[in-house]
């Protein structure tokens, strides 16, 4: 289902027309990829924090494994969101990285999750690693939300909908774009969830083999 929606996003995004907007022009089609990838990232990080809380409540090793694998996939989508945003910025703002407040805070938010992964690899004892990682994850999630959704709105920003800059509205997004964009939110999230489940199953099998030996 997710693959079909992503395929629909790609084909529909290419074939259907878009509003003729100054500066953005055809680059507005990147909206079908850039924003849904951030949405998929948020979905995966939400899954991660859910299982981190479950681990602290029940101490189940599988919950810890689900938490870290959803972060692994979420980080991939965050990097894809950053890359597609940088490419879009090059065409609309003139450079890949303009040190816009949202770009900067987004990079910091991603580094929070890289720190989570580094923290896990620095602790050898399994239960201690899982517990400390879960606690860190629970604090990292709201910090990430503040960094990418709250702080950019409090200062000047080139991003739509931030720092007094108007967001995309009914004049920018017509029915053709909505017909592609909304399925893209669902499709990329399902693709991300599917990748996460595959990674979790692989890691589970690897752990079972290690315990058997």
As a whole number of angstroms, the distance between CA 159 and CA 172 comes to 14
What is residue 171's predicted lDDT score, i.e. its pLDDT?
44
What is residue 170's predicted lDDT score, i.e. its pLDDT?
46
What is residue 8's predicted lDDT score, i.e. its pLDDT?
53
What is residue 23's predicted lDDT score, i.e. its pLDDT?
57
Residues in the chain predicted with pLDDT less than 70, given as ranges, are: 1-25, 158, 160-174, 211, 213
CA angle 175, 180, 186 (to 5 degrees): 125
Length of the chain in terms of residues written:
213
As a whole number of angstroms, the distance between CA 34 and CA 18 comes to 16
For residue range 110-123, list pLDDT tens digits in order: 999 999 999 999 99
What is residue 12's predicted lDDT score, i.e. its pLDDT?
55
What is residue 133's predicted lDDT score, i.e. its pLDDT?
96
For residue range 40-65, list pLDDT tens digits in order: 999 999 999 999 999 999 999 999 99
What's the domain count of the chain?
Answer: 1
In which domain, by residue range, is 140 found? 2-212
State the sign of the Cα–Cα–Cα–Cα dihedral 95, 39, 68, 147. Answer: positive
What is residue 135's predicted lDDT score, i.e. its pLDDT?
96
């Amino acid at each position: 289902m997710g693959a079909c929606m992503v395929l629909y996003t790609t084909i529909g995004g290419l074939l259907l027309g878009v509003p003729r907007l100054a500066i953005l022009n055809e680059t507005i089609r990147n909206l079908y990829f850039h924003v849904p990838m951030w949405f998929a990232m948020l979905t995966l990080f939400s899954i991660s924090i859910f299982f981190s809380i479950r681990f602290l409540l029940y101490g189940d090793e599988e919950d810890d494994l689900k938490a870290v694998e959803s972060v692994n996939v979420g980080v991939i989508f965050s990097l894809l969101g950053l890359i597609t945003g940088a490419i879009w910025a090059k065409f609309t703002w003139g450079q890949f990285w303009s040190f816009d407040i949202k770009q900067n805070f987004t990079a910091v938010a991603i580094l929070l999750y890289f720190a989570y992964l580094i923290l896990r690899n620095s602790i050898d004892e399994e239960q201690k690693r899982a517990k400390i990682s879960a606690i860190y994850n629970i604090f990292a999630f709201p910090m990430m939300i503040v960094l990418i959704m709250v702080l950019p709105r409090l200062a000047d920003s080139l991003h739509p909908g931030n720092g007094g800059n108007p967001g995309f509205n009914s004049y920018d997004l017509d029915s053709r774009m909505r017909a592609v964009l909304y399925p893209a939110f669902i499709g990329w999230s399902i693709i991300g969830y599917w990748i996460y489940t595959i990674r979790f199953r692989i890691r589970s099998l690897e752990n079972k083999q290690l315990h058997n030996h």
